[in-house]
Amino acid sequence: MSELDNIEARALRHLDGMTVNRDAMARDVLKLVRALRRLTEEVRKPGASPSAARRDDDFLRDLFGF
């Protein structure tokens, strides 16, 4: 199991019984894990460059609405 899988699994477990603030934090962690996984897959595609994964500020805007 990869580190990202472990982080995601822990966050899902912590969602049960946590307070609202911790729920929000766990959901953000899940968003981050999923976004990083998606970007990692893009970079690993044949012919893709590392710059393909960089989307300037769009990355943080997609995650947290900045």
pTM: 0.52
Its domain, for residue 47, covers 3-64
Query: How many CB atoms neighbour CB 30 within 10 A?
Result: 15
Q: Identify the helix (H) or strand (E) that includes residue 34.
A: helix 20-44
Q: Rounded to whole angstroms, how far apart are CA atoms 32 and 22?
A: 15
What total of structural domains would you count in the chain?
Answer: 1
CA gap 41, 35 in Å, rounded: 10
**Tens-digit pLDDT profile for residues 9-57:** 777 777 877 554 678 778 888 888 888 788 777 767 777 665 654 554 5
